[in-house]
């Protein structure tokens, strides 16, 4: 909806029912529907106004994950919406195109609300014409979001409570993609871009194709990488996003699965889902060209050329300009020790602000996972860069803009972050583990930008 130059959206958080198992319905929550919510198309530089109405029986909030914006519009725990009330957020995104998402963030109750289905996509575009550069960009046609979640269903098909879990929270064996169980995507083109969103509470995925095929990763949380790179797996912890480009030839069927997620040396791999192998999505190749009647025989024994360079997928060698932050330029260093549902031995308190970060100042944040279990680290109002992981240069999937990063047990990840433009001495932003059970248990802190 356009209202002058302002993009306006209305979201209603509401209750409903979904059918994850044919023939059985279960209570779910969604925005403007029973499960998940609409994709909000945002344009860089265009003001946005989102009105959120809460028709749930409990307090909620809506947070815009990945967007740099004023603290009062962030939708964190300090912007509660009581049942029956409305709240409106106004902000103007000014950052590169990316796949963001929105979800509730009420203090102590985020896990359950997201698990029931409250989440949606933020599709941020900017002027760069990706299509012209050869990057698939037609929404739903060759540019397809995949919001991946795992659900734990009782025998009768009912969604179980998010608190039924191990020390990382709830893990389920039923995969739901964009709200669908056993999803199928029929590609229309030979080259398709998938935007993978880990919208799960707890699970870390190792996305790959069952046949081990090579594809390109082109973007991380905060948008396009400087250059595409070829890989056969993408690892995402809760809250993280990645965009991949894959080739599918006419007549073929491929399976996107999750196996061998990169989780580091966790104490009990079974307890945290590290050994699970899960079917994510069935994909079929595009229809054979219409004029290809006699060509069909030829197609049958056509050997599929291997993807050996991003150019084989039509991708440009350079995707975006990603200026590197330099650790030498950091004027402040901060430590974050993740341990026992706390950060730096303190649990989240709504009334404690841990520090004030001066605006436009480059900072080095050292995040240490002291535990033998998985954690990750998310910062509001920021896209940061990974400087190193235990002293080693980040792998290519961590070389671009990030807002959430997995932190392996007993390892230190150092981030370079700068908070731009928005200041507010009163209203804090959050940093936290995005395993939602941990966040709710107190593995979160608050900072202001001044
Ligand atoms: Cu995706 Cu603080 O959240
Ligand atoms: Cu966030
Ligand atoms: Cu954690």
pLDDT by position in tens, the chain (length 450): 444 699 999 999 999 999 998 889 999 999 999 999 999 999 999 999 999 999 999 999 999 999 999 999 999 999 999 999 999 999 999 999 999 999 999 999 999 999 999 999 999 999 767 777 889 999 999 999 999 999 999 888 899 888 777 899 999 999 999 999 999 999 999 999 999 999 999 999 999 999 999 999 999 999 999 999 999 999 999 999 999 999 999 999 999 999 999 999 999 999 999 999 999 999 999 998 755 555 555 555 556 678 999 999 999 999 999 999 999 999 999 999 999 999 999 999 999 999 999 999 999 999 999 999 999 999 999 999 999 999 999 999 999 999 999 999 999 999 999 999 999 999 999 999 999 999 999 999 999 999
Q: Which of 261, 211, 270 minimizes the C-alpha distance to 240? A: 261
Kindly give the number of the ligand 1 atom that is closest to the alpha carbon of 76.
2
Give me the pLDDT at residue 294, please: 52
Tell me, what DSSP letter sits at residue 115?
H
Q: Which residues 6+ apart lie within 8 Å of 108 measured at CB?
A: 440
CA of 168 to the centre of ligand 3 (A): 7
- Residues facing residue 347 across a β-bridge: none
Give me the pLDDT at residue 1, please: 47
Q: From the CA atom positions of the chain, what is the Rg in Å?
A: 21
What is the pTM assigned to this prediction? 0.96
Q: Which ligand is nearest to the CA of 431?
A: 1
CA of 189 to the centre of ligand 1 (A): 34
CA of 328 to the centre of ligand 1 (A): 29
Kindly give the number of the ligand 1 atom that is closest to the alpha carbon of 430.
2
Kindly give the number of the ligand 1 atom that is closest to the alpha carbon of 63.
3
Ligand 1 first shell, C-beta below 6 A: 63, 65, 103, 105, 239, 378, 380, 430, 432, 434
Evaluate whether 13 touches 62 at the Cβ level (below 8 Å): yes
Q: Which ligand is nearest to the CA of 432?
A: 1
CA of 4 to the centre of ligand 2 (A): 29
Kindly give the number of the ligand 1 atom that is closest to the alpha carbon of 239.
1
CA of 215 to the centre of ligand 1 (A): 29
Give the DSSP per-residue string, 132-167: TTT----BTTTEEEEEEEEE-B-TTSPBPPTT-SBT
Q: Residue 214, Cβ neighbours under 10 Å: how many?
A: 16
DSSP3 helix / strand / coil % (the chain, rounded to 5) = 10, 45, 50
Give me the pLDDT at residue 300, please: 55
Q: Which ligand is nearest to the CA of 105?
A: 1
Sign of CA dihedral 372, 353, 442, 13: negative
- Residues facing residue 364 across a β-bridge: 333, 416
What 300-309 contacts at long range (C-beta under 8 Å, 24+ apart), as own/partner pairs, is 300/251, 302/249, 304/249, 304/252, 306/214, 307/213, 307/214, 307/215, 307/216, 307/230, 307/247, 308/214, 308/230, 309/230
CA of 41 to the centre of ligand 3 (A): 31
Kindly give the number of the ligand 1 atom that is closest to the alpha carbon of 404.
1
Nearest-CA residue for ligand 1 atom 1 is 65
CA distance 191 to 134: 10
CA distance 198 to 228: 21
Q: Which two tokens stand for residue 382?
A: 């920021």
Q: Residue 345, Cβ neighbours under 10 Å: how many?
A: 8
| Residue carrying the six token digits 């059985």 | 24
CA distance 345 to 158: 37
Q: Residue 243, Cβ neighbours under 10 Å: how many?
A: 25
Kindly give the number of the ligand 1 atom that is closest to the alpha carbon of 380.
2
Q: Which of 30, 35, 73 minimizes the C-alpha distance to 55? A: 30
What does each C-alpha distance from 157 to 25, 116, 152, 154 come to in angstroms? Answer: 7, 14, 9, 5
CA distance 116 to 151: 9
Q: Under CATH, to which class is 143-313 assigned?
A: mainly beta
Helix (H) or strand (E) holding 176, with range, is: strand 174-177
Backbone angles phi, psi at 317, to 5 degrees: -70, -30
| Residue carrying the six token digits 């290809």 | 292
* CA-angle at 2, arms to 141 and 145, nearest 5°: 25
Residues with CB under 5 A from ligand 2 (ion): 65, 380
Q: Do domains 2-125 and 327-449 have the same CATH topology?
A: yes
Kindly give the number of the ligand 1 atom that is closest to the alpha carbon of 103.
1
CA of 241 to the centre of ligand 2 (A): 12
Backbone angles phi, psi at 115, to 5 degrees: -60, -35
- Residues facing residue 236 across a β-bridge: 205
Q: Which ligand is nearest to the CA of 103?
A: 1
Nearest-CA residue for ligand 1 atom 3 is 65
CA distance 237 to 198: 7
The CATH code belonging to domain 2-125 is 2.60.40.420
Evaluate whether 411 touches 399 at the Cβ level (below 8 Å): no
CA distance 319 to 399: 13
Q: Under CATH, to which class is 327-449 assigned?
A: mainly beta
Backbone angles phi, psi at 301, to 5 degrees: -105, 20
Q: Which ligand is nearest to the CA of 441?
A: 3
CA of 339 to the centre of ligand 1 (A): 19
ipTM: 0.99
CA of 155 to the centre of ligand 1 (A): 31
Domain boundaries, the chain: 2-125, 143-313, 327-449
């Amino acid at each position: 909806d356009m209202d002058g130059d302002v993009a306006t959206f209305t979201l209603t958080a509401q209750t409903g029912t979904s059918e994850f198992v044919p023939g059985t319905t279960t209570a779910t929550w969604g925005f403007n529907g029973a499960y998940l919510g609409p994709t909000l198309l945002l344009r860089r530089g265009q003001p946005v106004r989102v009105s959120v109405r809460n028709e749930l029986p409990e307090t909620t909030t809506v947070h815009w994950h990945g967007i740099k914006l004023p603290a009062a519009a962030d939708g964190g725990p300090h912007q509660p919406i009581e049942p029956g009330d409305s709240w409106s957020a106004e902000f103007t995104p000014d950052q590169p195109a990316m796949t963001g998402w929105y979800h509730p963030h009420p203090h102590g109750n985020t896990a359950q609300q997201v698990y029931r289905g409250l989440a949606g996509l933020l599709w941020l575009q900017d002027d760069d014409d990706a299509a012209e550069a050869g990057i698939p960009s037609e929404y739903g046609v060759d540019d397809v979001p995949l919001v991946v979640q795992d659900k734990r269903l009782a025998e009768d098909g009912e969604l179980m409570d998010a608190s039924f879990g191990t020390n990382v929270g709830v893990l389920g064996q039923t995969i739901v993609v964009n709200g669908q169980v056993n999803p199928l995507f029929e590609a229309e083109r030979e080259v398709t871009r998938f935007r993978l969103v880990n919208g799960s509470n707890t699970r870390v995925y190792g996305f790959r194709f069952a046949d081990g095929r090579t594809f390109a990763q082109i973007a991380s949380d905060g948008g396009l990488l400087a250059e595409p790179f070829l890989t056969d797996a993408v690892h995402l912890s809760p809250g993280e996003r990645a965009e991949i480009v894959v080739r599918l030839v006419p007549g073929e069927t491929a399976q996107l699965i999750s196996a061998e997620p990169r989780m580091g040396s966790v104490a009990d791999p079974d307890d945290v889902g590290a050994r699970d192998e899960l079917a994510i999505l069935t994909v079929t190749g595009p229809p054979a060209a219409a004029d290809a009647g006699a060509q069909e025989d030829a197609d049958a024994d056509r050997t599929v050329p291997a993807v050996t360079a991003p150019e084989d997928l039509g991708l440009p060698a350079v995707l975006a300009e990603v200026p590197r932050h330099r650790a030498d330029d950091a004027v402040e260093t901060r430590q974050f020790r993740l341990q026992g549902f706390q950060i730096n031995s303190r649990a989240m308190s709504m009334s404690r602000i841990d520090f004030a970060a001066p605006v436009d100042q480059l900072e080095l944040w050292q995040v240490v996972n002291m535990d033998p279990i998985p954690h990750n680290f998310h910062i509001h109002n920021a896209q940061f860069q990974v400087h190193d992981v235990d002293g080693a240069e980040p792998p290519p999937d961590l070389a671009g803009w990030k807002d959430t990063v997995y932190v392996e047990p007993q390892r230190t990840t150092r981030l370079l972050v700068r908070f731009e433009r928005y200041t507010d001495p009163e209203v804090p932003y959050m940093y936290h583990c995005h395993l939602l059970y941990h966040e709710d248990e107190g593995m979160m802190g608050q900072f202001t930008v001044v």
